[in-house]
């Protein structure tokens, strides 16, 4: 560990850079020397940073600053009163993850910046440079003249070196469920309107902007991913897109237009820039997790991976079933729901749930999610209504005690569902009772939902208040030893390290859209580079019934993948919580393909990103946690290809049996999508498989030691 302390009395160092003369500059390098990051201060006392990778500019000199609502801002007039460099190289073991052990290796620069004109009020900017990129954040230490302040805006620039290709969704304070657009950065303003498709409860940012994680590729082959880590007590950041390939922070405002309420000692989340000349390195990066704080939970033994099925997908199937029990379209929590007129299609009935429990037990699933179990679904959406659900009252045809006892007798858990309809206030005031109800009835996991406009009214899904809400729910759930899977929450930023019971999130356009207009075949070749950079996604794969006309939306509705590709997702879309989303009866039609879902692990010792190109393809192999079993998944976009699966990650000198679940030659995402073939081959660590992938297709492989 090296340490260098500078004071204003020390002679200032001058560096040559593209910006005007700097009155201070200091550079750090990554442990492997591939990166250099420079902090500098210009003649006006404005802080800047820049980032190079293998001699190429990734971020050109970019200003840093925080604008405050009242009083002086942290924007300029700074002097450097201290600059300290340290190094760290440690490892840690996540509770669940893609790797059993994660290395955390970086060089750090902490610059203390004081404003003489404001009673020497000071902040710190902390840079951590890893072998896979840069993280930095603003810190506001406790000090005599700074206790409370309100953030009006953050002015962090990311001045890119060129007009990169970018995989993006438009900036929005309330939803991440847009379809990805691939364009040049310069094309974003022209495409913004088209990209802003209609989504429930959206609040698009008016100016050209994109959400993070934002994935880019430069003309000279650099892959660049910008996101944030450790989003706590701060609004989520989108990126303004300004001329000259300049991106800058755009925070989510609150109900009165402020961006954040701060009390020292405090800090912003980390701003992260993951960079490599290999796309596979981006997917393998653990930079965001490393920048999150270790968990403070003392006991994590109750946090476990979950493979589950659920009474859910059938709600999208034509003529099948509904969340709601009654025919009425105007109900209140004070109503007697047993007096409603049954609509005859209620999904979460005792009989139906027992059928799912039987199927789960028979096929080795851990749990059954049941949506539509509780009163309030008759008119739950679109009315900005506060008291929609109470989270403790079942419909008359759902017997909580009986069903949990039945599930327990079969070794299966029921997953609780708490749709909040975005009425977070209502959820918080009932949260303790809801979790106590879960504990009393044997539930240990909850799927939360935030569909609709947020209450407190005027707040947004991605604002500071809601960011704190999701964390409050996760922490309170931990008090009851409950795992959380949140849907429609702010996109993740690696907080599953700190709150490991927050095991997965949706926070993107997930499989449900296959039943509501379809997803582009390339969608799942982009998600690992964008949404999944922040953390595990409950993508809810495993849809075997890909036929036309099966779904409620009708028309050209179909699932835009091959069946084999659905199997690949269990490996390519990392999550310790994985659903087999289709109906039991659909799985029973394809028992040989279903075998892969039964076999595949959901927690891992090691992961190997074998091939990847955002928008084109992803091939990943993983070793099951604590087992000599390996699984491979590979997906492609609308183009057929031949994947290369180099099995050199297998132990040397042993023979293995690989079962390959692959597209047939005539399969594609929009024709013969259920045509797959299963073959078994002997492999070793020297095997280099070449595997056909159909248009919009994929394949999955399970590998076991040969008996």
Catalytic residue set: 512
Q: Is residue 150 part of the contact set for its own copies (CB under 8 A)?
A: yes
**CB of 346: closest distance to its own copies in angstroms?**
21
- Could you say which of 77, 105, 264, 659 contacts its own copies (CB under 8 A)? 264
Least Å distance, CB 602 to its own copies, is 32
Per the CB < 8 A criterion, the answer to whether 519 and 513 are in contact is yes
Binding span for its own copies by CB under 8 A among 115-123, 379-387, 550-558, 594-602: 379-387
HEC profile of 72-132: CCECCCEEEEEEEEEEEEEEECCCCCCCCCEEEEEEEEEEEEEEHHHCCEEEEEEEEEECC
Among 154, 459, 514, 522, contact with its own copies (rule: CB under 8 A): 459
290 neighbors 258 (Cβ within 8 angstroms): no
Q: Token digits for 121?
A: 């009020």
CA distances from 23 to 41, 78, 81, 193, 221 (A): 6, 11, 13, 43, 34
At residue 590's C-alpha, the angle toward residues 588 and 594, to 5°, is 90
**Region binding its own copies by CB under 8 A among candidate stretches 107-115, 190-198, 249-257, 620-628:** 249-257
- Closer CB to its own copies, 261 or 692, in the complex: 261
Please identify, using beta-carbon distances, which residue of 330 and 680 lies nearer to its own copies.
330
> Binding of its own copies at residue 386 (CB under 8 A)?
yes
Which residues are within 8 A (CB) of 63 and not within 5 positions of it... i.e. 6 or more apart? 46, 47, 48, 155, 156, 157
Task: Out of 383, 556, 642, 644, point to the residue binding its own copies (CB under 8 A).
Answer: 383
Per-position x/- string for 203-242, each x denoting binding to its own copies as judged by CB under 8 A, each - no binding:
----------------------------------------
Q: Which of these ranges, 113-121, 261-269, 395-403, 697-705, lies near its own copies under the rule CB under 8 A?
A: 261-269
What kind and span of H or E run contains 524?
helix 523-526
> Of 379, 399, 628, 677, which one interacts with its own copies (CB under 8 A)?
379
C-alpha pair distances (Å), 509 with each of 178, 179, 355, 512, 617: 6, 7, 29, 8, 18
Our finding on whether 174 is near its own copies (CB under 8 A) is no
Q: Measured between alpha carbons, how far is 245 from 188 in angstroms, rounded to an integer?
A: 10
Name the 3-class secondary structure at 577.
strand
Name the packing angle between helices 424-441 and 400-409 (round to 10°).
Answer: 50
Half-sphere exposure in the Cβ direction for 495 (13 Å, CA): 26
- Chosen residue from 303, 431, 601, 660 binding its own copies by CB under 8 A: 431
Q: Does 649 bind its own copies (CB under 8 A)?
A: no
Among 87, 343, 468, 639, indicate the residue that binds its own copies (CB under 8 A).
468
Stretch that binds its own copies, among 170-178, 190-198, 259-267, 610-618 (CB under 8 A): 259-267
CB of 291 to its own copies, least distance (A): 21
Please list the residues that pair with 636 across neighbouring strands: 617
**362 touches its own copies (CB under 8 A):** no
Q: 1 vs 105, 246, 373, CA distance in Å?
A: 12, 35, 57
- Closer of 332 and 665 to its own copies (Cβ): 332
CA distance 333 to 322: 19
**Residue 391 neighbours by CB under 8 Å, 6+ apart:** 374, 418, 427, 430, 433, 434, 437
433 interacts with its own copies by CB under 8 A: yes
Q: Measured from the CB of residue 458, what is the shortest distance to its own copies in angstroms? A: 4
Put residue 529 in one of left, alpha, beta given phi > 0 → left and psi -120 to 50 → alpha: alpha
Residue number with CB closer to its own copies (480 or 569): 480
Q: Answer yes or no: are the C-beta atoms of 396 and 325 closer than 8 Å.
A: yes
Beta bridge partners of 183: 166
Q: Does 475 bind its own copies (CB under 8 A)?
A: no
Q: Nearer to its own copies by C-beta: 464 or 562?
A: 464
| Of the residues 330, 336, 690, 707, which one makes contact with its own copies according to CB under 8 A | 330
Q: d(Cα 152, Cα 156) in Å, to the nearest integer?
A: 13
CB of 137 to its own copies, least distance (A): 19
**Which span sits near its own copies by CB under 8 A: 119-127, 200-208, 421-429, 695-703?**
421-429
Question: What is the pattern of x (binds its own copies, CB under 8 A) and - over residues 106-145?
Answer: ------------------------------------x---
Question: First CA to last CA across the chain, in angstroms?
Answer: 50
The SS3 of residue 642 is strand
C-alpha 83/C-alpha 286 separation (Å) is 26
Closest distance of CB 424 from its own copies, Å = 9
Is the Cβ–Cβ distance between 160 and 224 less than 8 Å? yes
- Of 32, 220, 293, 432, the one binding its own copies (CB under 8 A) is 432
The span from the CA of 411 to the CA of 685, in Å, is 37
| CA–CA dist 527, 614 (Å, integer) | 8
- By the rule CB under 8 A, 458 interacts with its own copies: yes
Whole-number Å distance between alpha carbons of 527 and 568:
14
Query: What's the closest the beta carbon of residue 203 comes to its own copies, in angstroms?
Result: 12
Measured from the CB atom, the residue of 382 and 651 that comes closer to its own copies is 382
Q: 440, 419, 314: which is closest to 377 by C-alpha? A: 419
Question: What is the nearest approach in angstroms of its own copies to the Cβ of residue 465?
Answer: 8
Of 14 and 148, which CB lies nearer to its own copies in the complex structure?
A: 148
Min CB(366)–its own copies separation in Å: 30
Number of residues that bind its own copies (CB under 8 A): 32
| Binds its own copies (CB under 8 A): choice among 81, 88, 202, 258 | 258
CA distance 635 to 619: 7
Q: Is 343 in the site for its own copies (CB under 8 A)?
A: no
Task: Tell me the helices (H) and strands (E) count for the chain, helix number first.
Answer: 11, 36
Give 102 or 150: the residue with its C-beta nearer to its own copies.
150
Q: Which of 218, 6, 225 is nearest to 111 (CA)?
A: 6
Quick check: 147 binds its own copies (CB under 8 A)? yes
Of 186 and 425, nearer to its own copies (C-beta) is 425
The two three-digit tokens of residue 662, written as one number: 């692959």
Stretch binding its own copies (CB under 8 A), from 115-123, 163-171, 217-225, 378-386 = 378-386
Beta pairing, strands 698-705 & 502-505: unpaired
> Is residue 381 a contact residue for its own copies (CB under 8 A)?
no
What's CA 254's distance to the chain center, in Å? 22
Q: How far is the CB of 204 from its own copies (least distance, A)?
A: 17
Single residue of 278, 327, 384, 556 touching its own copies by CB under 8 A? 384
147 or 642: CB nearest its own copies:
147
The footprint of its own copies (CB under 8 A) covers: 142, 147-148, 150, 254-256, 258, 261, 263-264, 329-330, 332, 379, 383-386, 425, 428-429, 431-433, 456-459, 465, 468, 472
């Amino acid at each position: 560990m090296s340490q260098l302390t500078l004071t204003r009395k020390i002679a200032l160092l001058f560096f040559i850079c593209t910006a005007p003369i700097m009155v201070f500059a200091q550079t750090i390098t990554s442990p492997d020397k591939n990166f250099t990051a420079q902090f500098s201060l210009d003649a006006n006392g404005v802080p800047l940073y820049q980032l190079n990778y293998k001699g190429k500019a990734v971020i050109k000199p970019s200003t840093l600053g925080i604008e405050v609502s009242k009083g002086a801002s942290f924007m300029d007039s700074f002097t450097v009163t201290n600059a300290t460099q340290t190094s760290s190289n440690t490892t840690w073991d996540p509770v669940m993850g893609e790797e059993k052990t994660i290395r955390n290796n970086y060089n750090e620069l902490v610059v203390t910046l004081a404003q003489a004109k404001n009673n020497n009020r000071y902040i710190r900017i902390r840079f951590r440079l890893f072998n896979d990129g840069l993280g930095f954040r603003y810190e506001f230490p406790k000090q005599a003249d700074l206790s409370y302040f309100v953030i009006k805006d953050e002015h962090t620039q990311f001045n890119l070196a060129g007009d990169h290709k970018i995989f993006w969704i438009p900036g929005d304070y309330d939803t991440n469920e847009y379809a990805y657009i691939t364009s040049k950065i310069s094309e974003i303003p022209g495409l913004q309107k088209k990209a802003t498709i209609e989504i429930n409860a959206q609040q698009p940012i008016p100016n050209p902007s994109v959400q993070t994680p934002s994935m880019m590729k430069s003309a000279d082959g650099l892959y660049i991913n910008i996101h944030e880590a450790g989003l706590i007590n701060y609004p989520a950041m989108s990126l303004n897109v300004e001329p000259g390939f300049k991106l800058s922070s755009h925070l989510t405002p609150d109900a009165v237009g402020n961006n954040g309420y701060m009390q020292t000692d405090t800090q912003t989340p980390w701003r992260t820039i993951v960079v490599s000349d290999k796309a596979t390195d981006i997917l393998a990066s653990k930079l965001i997790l490393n920048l999150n704080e270790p968990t403070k939970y003392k006991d994590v033994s109750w946090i476990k991976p979950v493979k589950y099925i659920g009474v859910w997908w059938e709600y999208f199937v034509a003529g099948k079933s509904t969340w709601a029990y009654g025919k009425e379209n105007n109900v209140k929590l004070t109503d007697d729901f047993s007096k409603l007129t049954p609509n005859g299609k209620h999904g979460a009935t005792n009989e139906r749930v027992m059928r799912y429990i039987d199927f789960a037990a028979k096929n080795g699933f851990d749990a059954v999610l049941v949506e539509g179990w509780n009163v309030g679904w008759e008119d739950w959406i679109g009315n900005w209504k506060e008291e929609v659900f109470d989270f403790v009252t079942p419909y008359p045809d759902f017997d909580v005690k009986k069903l949990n006892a039945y599930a327990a007798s079969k070794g299966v858990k029921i997953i609780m569902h708490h749709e909040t309809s975005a009425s977070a206030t209502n959820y918080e005031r009932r949260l303790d009772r809801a979790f106590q109800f879960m504990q009393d009835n044997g539930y240990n996991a909850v799927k939360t939902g935030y569909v609709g406009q947020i209450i407190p009214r005027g707040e947004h899904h991605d604002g500071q208040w809601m960011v704190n809400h999701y964390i409050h729910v996760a922490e309170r759930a931990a008090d009851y030893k409950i795992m959380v899977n949140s849907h429609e929450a702010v996109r993740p930023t690696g907080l599953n390290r700190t709150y490991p019971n927050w095991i997965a999130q949706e926070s993107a356009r997930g499989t449900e859209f296959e039943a509501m207009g379809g997803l582009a075949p390339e969608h799942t070749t982009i998600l690992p580079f964008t949404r999944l950079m922040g953390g595990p996604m409950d993508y809810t794969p495993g849809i075997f019934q890909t036929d036309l006309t099966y779904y409620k939306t009708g028309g050209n509705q179909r699932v835009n993948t091959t069946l084999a590709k659905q199997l690949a997702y269990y490996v390519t879309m990392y999550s310790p919580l994985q659903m087999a989303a289709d109906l039991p009866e659909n799985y029973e039609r394809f028992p040989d393909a279903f075998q892969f879902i039964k076999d595949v692990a959901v927690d891992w010792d090691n992961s190997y990103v074998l091939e990847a190109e955002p928008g084109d393809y992803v091939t990943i192999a993983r070793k099951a946690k604590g087992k000599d079993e390996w699984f491979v998944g590979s997906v492609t976009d609308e183009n057929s290809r031949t994947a290369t699966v180099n099995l050199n990650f297998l132990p040397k000198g042993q023979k293995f049996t690989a079962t390959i679940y692959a597209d047939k030659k005539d399969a594609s995402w929009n024709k013969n999508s259920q045509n797959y073939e299963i073959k078994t081959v002997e492999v070793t660590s020297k095997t280099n498989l070449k595997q056909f992938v159909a248009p919009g297709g994929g394949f999955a492989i399970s590998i076991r030691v040969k008996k």
